[in-house]
Structure 1
Amino acid sequence: MAKILPVFQQLAPIDKEPFITNVLVVISLLTQSYYSHENCCEIITYPDGFTPLWLVQKQQKEITKLETEVFIRCIQPVKRIDLTKEEYVLIKAIIFCNPACSNISDAGQQLLEQECERYSKTLLRYMQSIHGGTKGASRYAQVIAVMEAMAYFAERLREFHLIRMIQRAQEAKRQGQKSRAVYVIDDLF
């Protein structure tokens, strides 16, 4: 989706990579949560039916609080307000245009701020056209709260992956194997 946003084409080439990597985990989690909710799933479920929690359960008997947050609770904010497809698309655009991105030039941040404001106003106007002035503003606040919840759960997902990387390195060391290389996906977390 990032490439189809007009702001992506306006960003300097040096700003494009940080633009994507700064929001990738949040966007991924929002997409997984929305998809799972749309398909009436209580846990994160991929389009092919795979559930990442299955891998965790296969390796250990009990699910930790962190795993519960990462694979189950993250769906609840989307489910609670029954996020619509239109709201989902607009909130995704707002997240992509988050001006609080690190490693982006001042000019890039200014562009992102303008686009974020534009998409936020579009979402608010859309909510108010559907629900009326006051109820629309209230619904807008609920949708923005989903965005904040996704940022929280994305941090928990980063913690989960960090713990898994450490566990894999410790297991490799115990078995006398060389620890595996850190891949690009690990850098995102």
Structure 2
Amino acid sequence: MPRLHIDRIPNFCKFWIYADHVYAIEWAKTLEFFRLLELGDQRELICFSAWQIMNLNHSYFSYSKGSDKILFPDLTFTVWTPTEAARDIITPLIRLQMDRTEYLLIKALIICNPSCDAASVRTREILQKERIIISKVLFNHCMKSHGKALGPNRFVEILALEGILMHQAQRTKQLQALMTVLNLRSINPKLMDE
């Protein structure tokens, strides 16, 4: 298979996957509880959740621009993403008509996932406490915005997105690993391999 040479990519294109990993790290550093964690646990938590955050960011941006396919801020789009991968998360966002508050809260819940086995017990306890707080805020928002009849169901549907994002992140990691093994990546950022 031919190797993708970066000099063939137009210089106006940004490498969004890498940039969004950096954005995910910087966003996580703004969270108050994140600063309480040991450096090693911060790293493990980022490695565990960065792909999910990145996929949610891409999907929410695309949804907010009215697209049902992954669209980047410079209005470029991917040609290698399987169609079903984009629809895994964008379709539910469209169906739910997710608002920005719900987006930010599910994003916070993703990083507050205590199932990160590589994190210490102390970190998982902190994450669990934060997760409970954020879940209550999300539930109250759903109840206030959609009423007692529709609020609980909406809350559950939003939480279900986390499982979809986790599955999607696993597939994205596998694709990146395959591209590395087949030597199809033009650059090999260490950050993405972790």
Q: Shorter-normalised TM-score: what interval?
A: 0.7 to 0.9
Question: 154-163 or 120-129: which moved more?
Answer: 154-163
For 1:72 and 1:138, the matched residues in 2 are separated by 21
- Does the 8 Å contact 1:69/1:153 carry over to 2? no
- Structure showing greater radius of gyration is 1
1:82-135 C-alpha deviation (Å, 9 max, x unpaired): 111010001111111111113211001100010011101110011112222241
Q: So what's the TM-score if we normalise by structure 2? A: 0.79
Cross-structure match for 1:151: 166
Give the paired residue count. 168
For 1:115 and 1:86, the matched residues in 2 are separated by 17
Change (3 A) 1:94 1:162: same
- Does the 8 Å contact 2:89/2:161 carry over to 1? no
Change (3 A) 1:164 1:141: same
Cross-structure match for 1:87: 102
Letter in 2 for 1:96: I
Equivalent residue runs for 1:64-103 within 5 Å: 67-103=82-118
Cross-structure match for 2:17: none
Equivalent residue runs for 1:93-172 within 5 Å: 93-168=108-183
For 1:107 and 1:126, the matched residues in 2 are separated by 29
Q: So what's the TM-score if we normalise by structure 1? A: 0.81
- Does the 8 Å contact 1:99/1:110 carry over to 2? yes
For 1:181 and 1:86, the matched residues in 2 are separated by 35
Identity of aligned residues (%): 27
Letter in 1 for 2:189: Y
1:43 is aligned, of 69, 91, 96, to 69
For 1:82 and 1:37, the matched residues in 2 are separated by 9
Structure 2 runs not aligned, ≥5 long? 1-26
1:52 is aligned to 2:78: yes
1:127-185 C-alpha deviation (Å, 9 max, x unpaired): 1122222411111011111222111211121222222222226xxxxxxxxx9885314
> What SS does the corresponding residue of 1:102 show, helix, strand or coil?
coil
1:30 is aligned to 2:30: no
Question: 123-132 or 158-167: which moved more?
Answer: 158-167
For 1:165 and 1:153, the matched residues in 2 are separated by 18
Cross-structure match for 1:61: none
Letter in 2 for 1:45: L
Cross-structure match for 2:14: none
For 1:167 and 1:68, the matched residues in 2 are separated by 22
> What SS does the corresponding residue of 2:101 show, helix, strand or coil?
helix
Change (3 A) 1:50 1:185: farther
Change (3 A) 1:8 1:68: same
For 1:180 and 1:146, the matched residues in 2 are separated by 32
